[in-house]
Copies of this chain bind each other. A is one copy, B any other.
Amino acid sequence: MRTSIATVSLSGSLTEKLTAASRAGFDGVEIFENDLLASPLTPEEIRARCADLGLGVDLYQPLRDIEAVPEDEFARNLRRARHKFELMRRLGADTVLVCSSVSPLAVDDDALAARQLAELAHLAQDFGIRVAYEALAWGRHVSTYDHAWRIVAAAGHPALGTCLDSFHILSRGSDPKGIEDIPGEKIFFLQLADAPRLAMDVLQWSRHYRCFPGQGGFDVAGLVGHVLRTGYRGPLSLEVFNDVFRQAEAGPTAVDAHRSLLALMETVGATALPPPVVPTGIAFAELVTPDTAPVTARLAALGFARTARHRGKPVDLWQQGDARILVNTGPAARRDGTQLAAVGLESPDPAGAARRAEALLAPVLPRRRAREDVPLDAVAAPDGTELFFCATGHDPRLPDWRSDFEPVGHTPDTPGSAPGVTRIDHLALTQPWHQFDEAALFHRTVLGLRAQESVDVADPYGLLRSRAVTNADGSVRIALTVGAAPTDDTVRAQHLALATDDVVTAARRFRAAGGRLLPVPANYYDDLAARHGLPEEELATYRELGILYDRDAHGVFRHCYTTTVGRVFFELVQREGGYRGYGAPNAPVRLAAQHAAR
């Protein structure tokens, strides 16, 4: 199917928008009137630019407040429409969107609306143009798709059809099943947008909070299914008004937009993508650092051993139980400071995982970094984190990344032999502010992970939002986090949470080895006593070590934090009884303590 995007969904000048849409792989665009008015290019130049970029001008939008008005007003509207049809001829656009009237002049008279729309379509036909009539959710008299369709049917003009818009239909709670009663050839256009479920005024909701399919709470795929069953074969076109996208760079937004459409098309069976290969564990996390000492001192105190060194690069492997951490002091480290730069995901089919990622527009990274390296499939996540698809010894036919490493003589503790770290529990990655929803969509569609609800966390200097993506058994958990504002660099900390079966002993061992744990205020423990009635002795231990405590319906969570190096800190976590969260209720105390420790 043809994919299209409305220019209003992207930021920048019209030229920037067109370039971004083309690069992301769209087949066409809807040109939004204001983008054309503000462009120094003539309609002919815009047409040529689109042709050069391989983009069709699929829709010009919109004509407003046209129908069901007194005759003198309608005469003026026809005059205005003629101007626009002349413009569309120059632009090479053959479909115009007419939104149901919001004008106070409009009357509640379907027959009049039908007659005037037929007259408009008649004029349009002279220009080779089709009119697509759409019900705005806040239209004055016409606000539902079936109502708009009844008027189109009554008008009975070949150049008049309807335009369906998932936002206008689903935001009103209309049942999209009735779409199947419309003949496919009378659906002239299909606009798609998702939105978070918000109880707010529908006009504000529409203008500021729309998002790409799969990012919100609507069943956009279900709606598209109904539309396809009518025989509709026109474009799937994204029309997303969103305050964040307006500020974001057009290029990445267009890629995210196209990815959402591809995933949607897969869901409705309109395209076949390589199937998802869900990761089955975390193979490693890679830290880059310009100065190894603060990082390796923490790792050593946590009980990690340096077990191997890369044959060709300044990268060490530190291991404890099944937790593997690479410490890289290569060029990236000197550029960016200490941070989490890459994640290895265990994959039953690394090449398949990479094929799916590529089909969903993730940048594929070179398979070999150096000639002698083991080939590894890897892509870049939207935040720039490199994701490696690995087979760590689980399939002898697949290359093992560890072959690039030379043992250095130290062996890690056997899991269970000491009460240390058993595995990586989760990773927390800070996302670019403009792409928080895209990041969740990426991890869901590309990696086949499940996205949990997003939660707000109060930092002393603004609200953070956090959303976890996980596989079914929780062996892969990634917390995506974003700050309150685009510049919120005070909270751009990433962390690595390490699972242990005994956080108290692990914390004691860390301290005894010279590690410093984040101090937690005494007031926190007084409150814990008030809330949970824990034994005084247990509380005293938590107090001594700075261990935080949470409970959910499934179990108990105990956790503590190291101090921060660069952008990175470590967390020791002990999950019991199937606790599912990440200690979010404790996050404000942790964040305040981190600010205080700066």
Contact = CB atoms under 8 A, between A and B. Distances in A.
Contact of A486 (B485, B526, B533): B485
Contacts of A80: 530-531
B247 A484 contact: yes
Contact of A461 (B200, B247, B463, B593): B247
B246 A484 contact: yes
Contacts of A87: 523, 526
A12 B588 CA distance: 12
Contacts of A526: 83, 87
Contact of A83 (B43, B519, B530): B530
Interface stretch (A29-37, A165-173, A268-276): A29-37
A414 B472 CA distance: 81
A200 B201 CA distance: 6
B34 A588 contact: yes
A592 interface: yes
Interface string A581-598: 000000011011101100
A471 B481 CA distance: 46
A59 to B, nearest CB: 17
Contacts of A533: 76, 79
B592 A521 contact: no
B38 A589 contact: yes
Contacts of A39: 521, 523, 592
> How many copies of this protein are present in the complex?
2
A484 B201 CA distance: 21
Contact of A13 (B199, B523, B531, B595): B595
A14 to B, nearest CB: 9
Given A246-B458, A461-B12, A484-B243, A588 B42 contact: no
A40 interface: yes
Contacts of A543: none
Nearest to A527: B37
A66 B529 CA distance: 17
A148 to B, nearest CB: 24
B463 A246 contact: yes
Given A521-B37, A523-B43, A527-B33, A201 B199 contact: yes
Nearest to A488: B247
Interface string A270-309: 0000000000000000000000000000000000000000
A522 B463 CA distance: 45
A577 interface: no
Contacts of A38: 460, 521, 523-524, 588-589, 591-593
A343 to B, nearest CB: 29
A462 interface: yes
Nearest to A531: B80
A593 B41 CA distance: 12
A11 interface: yes
B200 A37 contact: no
A93 B593 CA distance: 24
A460 B199 contact: no
Interface string A503-531: 00000000000000001011110110111
A529 B86 CA distance: 12
A143 to B, nearest CB: 16
Contacts of A523: 36-39, 42-43, 87
A198 interface: yes
A487 interface: yes
A84 interface: yes
Contacts of A200: 198-201
Given A198-B200, A200-B200, A458 B34 contact: yes
A453 B249 CA distance: 30
B461 A11 contact: yes
B461 A246 contact: yes
Contacts of A79: 530, 533
Interface in A187-211: 198-201, 204
Contacts of A485: 247, 485-487
Contacts of A486: 485-487
A244 B381 CA distance: 29
Given A36-B523, A38-B589, A201-B199, A13 B460 contact: yes
8 contacts: A12-B460, A37-B589, A38-B591, A39-B521, A83-B526, A198-B200, A247-B462, A485-B485
Closest 4 CB pairs of A and B: A83-B530, A38-B592, A200-B200, A199-B201
Given A38-B523, A39-B592, 6 more contacts: A12-B461, A13-B460, A38-B591, A38-B592, A43-B523, A247-B488
